[in-house]
Amino acid sequence: MNRRKFLKKGGMVLSGTVCADGLLLLTSCNPSETTKENRLSRHKWGMVIDLNKCKPECTACMEACRQENNVAFHGDKRWDIHWIRKVGIQERHSENAGEKMIPMLCNHCENPPCAQVCPVQATYKRDDGIVIVDHHRCIGCRYCMIACPYNARFFNYKDDPDWPNKSYPKRSHGVAESCHFCAHLLDQGKRPACVDTCEKIGVKAIYFGDLKDPNSEVSQLIADTPLKRIRADLGTEPKVYYKGL
Amino acid sequence: MSSHTRGIVVTVAVLVILFPFLYSLISGVLTGSSEIDGVFLERPDPKYQECVRETEYMRFHHMDLLKEIREEFVRYGNRGEIGFDSCRSCHTSRERFCNQCHNAVTLNLDCFGCHYYPEPTFETANLRKRGSR
């Protein structure tokens, strides 16, 4: 074998190995193998809040949320955390001008800006549409708080010694947190604490249900009544709807 | 230097170099174990015969198991049988079980800052005997 033949054959062998490796890599990147089938994708949770029924001075949902999710309350507005809170919004440019108190919570956007900016993918959207924080992974950079157009995210500046619901964990100092539609209760087949409480006190201003199910209360309300979403123009596709906004 | 003296010097040097290894070997044989001093794990209630995995696996890889079930629950919403709640049914005290090893190897974990794992009351704590393993 002369030098020319040797180089030719060597090149063929080399290119053959490279191509084979490339093929192997391509097949291993097939997305159908990496996606995980799970039962969460059967539902898509959504909420409708009827502002005509919601009383401006009532804070029952906020209290229920604190009790259920061990949300920190220090009595100092620098550190207090509200997963659901009452916000006064003003109507200026129409006949019915005035202030309205509306319950605000995480809107569980279809395109969540908080999940997009999270550098460690601690915030993510579950397959049932709930935007949730993995507090084990959160590094406390607070990008999500800046990204959220609804100011629904809060940072745990201080540990709260109170622990009302022992079956649900607290959050440690230094992580961001927000409403998660009581995902731990939904997994058990129950409803979120605020929805339950609102019904229990006889107001029933909050409706909760599956948006994928056309017969659910929420889907029918969305189909029949004119509902508004907050800052729908941003394209985040929030899943909390307001009636009478 | 005579060959005799050189032999003694070499022997002493070898012994000095090997002293830590020999010491741990001999002390291990004498005490009958190679455990870390001061680790006294609480023996679970005798009615529980076995753990969720083999003891040997749990001893070295319980953190992998915990991470696995955490991933499954937090990311996919599948709450399995295993969790801190099921650990607590046998290992009632984290002070006398979890912390024993973690303290011996100076490992500071913050699981229980957020997850509830109560210490047993004084009466129930006295019912369980302290024993090594």
pLDDT in tens, B5-27: 999 999 999 999 999 888 888 87
Looking at residue B129, what is its pLDDT? 44
Token readout for B8 is 């003694």
Sequence ranges of the domains in chain A = 3-34, 42-243
Q: Is the dihedral of CA A119, A83, A236, A127 positive or negative?
A: positive
Residue B42 backbone dihedrals phi, psi, to 5 degrees: -65, 130
Sequence ranges of the domains in chain B = 1-34, 35-127
Distance in angstroms (rounded) separating the CA atoms of residues A172 and A158: 8
Whether the CB of A171 is below 8 Å from some CB of chain B: the reply is yes
pLDDT (tens digit, 9 = 90+) per residue, B59-85? Answer: 889 999 999 998 888 888 787 788 888
Looking at residue A196, what is its pLDDT? 94
Q: Which of B112, B89, B90 is nearest to B102 (CA)?
A: B112
Inter-residue contact A225 to A55 (CB < 8 Å): no
| Whole-number Cα distances in Å, A132 to A83, A95, A167, B51 | 12, 39, 18, 32
Digits of tens for pLDDT over chain A (245 positions)?
788 888 888 888 888 777 777 666 665 554 444 455 567 888 999 999 999 999 989 999 999 999 999 999 998 889 999 999 999 888 777 776 678 889 999 999 999 999 999 999 999 999 999 999 999 999 999 999 999 999 999 999 988 888 999 889 999 889 999 999 999 999 888 999 999 999 999 999 999 999 999 999 999 999 999 999 999 999 999 999 999 88
Q: A148 to chain B nearest CA, in Å? A: 21
Q: A122 to chain B nearest CA, in Å? A: 10
Fold of A42-243: Alpha-Beta Plaits (3.30.70)
Chain B nearest-CA residue for A167: B116
CB contact under 8 A, B74 and A134: yes
| Stated pTM of the model | 0.73
Q: Is the dihedral of CA B87, B88, B90, B93 positive or negative?
A: positive
Distance in angstroms (rounded) separating the CA atoms of residues A121 and A134: 8
Partners of B79 on chain A (C-beta within 8 Å) are 187
Helix spans in B32-117 (H):
55-76, 84-90, 98-104, 111-114
Q: Which residues of B lie inside 8 Å of A (Cβ-Cβ)?
A: 70, 74-79, 110, 113-116, 118
For the cut 80, the answer to whether the pLDDT of residue B49 exceeds it is: no
